[in-house]
Amino acid sequence: MTRPVIGIATQTLEAVPGKLPLCWVMGQRYVRVLTAAGAVPWLVPLLPDDEPTLRSIYDRLDGIFLTGGVDVDPANYGEERHEMCDRADPARDWAEIHLVRWALADHKPILGVCRGIQVINVACGGSLYQHVSEQHPDAIKHDYFPTVTEYTRDYLAHRVRVEAGSRLGRLLGAAEVDVNSMHHQGIKRLGGGLRPCAVAPDGLIEGVESANGTYLVAVQWHPEELAEAIAPQRRLFTDFTEAAGAYHAQAHT
């Protein structure tokens, strides 16, 4: 079977005057986990001044993978910026929201992690808690950001309850799983066409999928950091790659 091509939007690296020009970057872990699953990753530039080129790239993709990264600009869901909302990347927001909406319209497979679940929710008309610890009732700690002295990116911070019968539940094979947690924002108002399929102990939505059966799976944790050691987490990527392969086969028959 032809290896499916998966688009991964990059993130803006600001210029350092006199040393470094404006750049687009993306973590290698995301690329490698997709490659290991049999996909061909395609790093997508951010082109808010050139929608036709972004669309031309999109048309060559078999699936969209939305990764972790900086906070989504609250202007995208009609809210004023909270004082704890970190820096945003408007060009990345623009590109990813377009990619999600195009993929939803075409039933092209989508997988999202961490920021990815948040962008998907915003693209579907939902909103976010800009700082979970202050805005979500009874919030547990979610922001286990790694430092030199504590936590690691694969640190299992808390459990999530997974809906039986959901695609995510079938992939993970358990009603509850331990996950890592490196975020301070999360889903507040659920976007249209999405249904929750995993929740944290405080009720924060940690997993969503499409309500109409098309392939969309997104989680709030970072399964790419767990995939090598934990087979059920790895299945998120292999299943997504298989779905993208099936989309490619159908689109080219």
Question: HSE of 231 in the Cβ direction (CA atoms, 13 Å)?
Answer: 3
**Who contacts 78 (Cβ-Cβ below 8 Å, separation ≥6)?**
127
Strand duo 110-113 + 63-66: pairing? parallel
Residue 236 in contact with residue 30, Cβ under 8 Å?
no
pLDDT > 90 fraction of the chain, expressed in percent and rounded: 97
pTM for this one? Answer: 0.97
With residues binned 3-state (H G I as helix, E B as strand, rest as coil), the percentages for the chain, rounded to 5, are: 30, 25, 45
Give the pLDDT confidence of 131-150 residue by residue, as tens digits. 999 999 899 999 999 999 99
Angle at 148 between CA 140 and CA 229, to 5 degrees: 70
Domains by residue range for the chain, with CATH: 5-251 (3.40.50.880)
Integer distance in angstroms from the first to the last C-alpha of the chain? 13
| Helix 90-106 with 51-59: angle, nearest 10 deg | 40
Angle at 7 between CA 9 and CA 223, to 5 degrees: 80
Q: Using CA atoms, how far apart are residues 33 and 41, in angstroms rounded to an integer?
A: 10
- Neighbouring CB atoms inside 10 A of 46's CB total 20
Residues of the chain with pLDDT below 50 are none
Q: Using CA atoms, how far apart are residues 241 and 63, in angstroms rounded to an integer?
A: 8
Active site residue 225: no
Q: Using CA atoms, how far apart are residues 109 and 5, in angstroms rounded to an integer?
A: 11
DSSP state, residue 75: G
Active site residue 124: no
Active-site entry in 222, 225, 242, 248:
222
Q: Using CA atoms, how far apart are residues 64 and 241, in angstroms rounded to an integer?
A: 10
Active site residue 222: yes
Closest CA to 56 of 65, 44, 67: 44
Active-site entry in 96, 209, 224, 242:
224
Q: Residue 253: its pLDDT value, please? A: 85
Active-site entry in 114, 142, 206, 242:
114
Give the pLDDT confidence of 64-92 residue by residue, as tens digits. 999 999 999 999 999 999 999 999 999 99
Residue 109 in contact with residue 243, Cβ under 8 Å?
yes
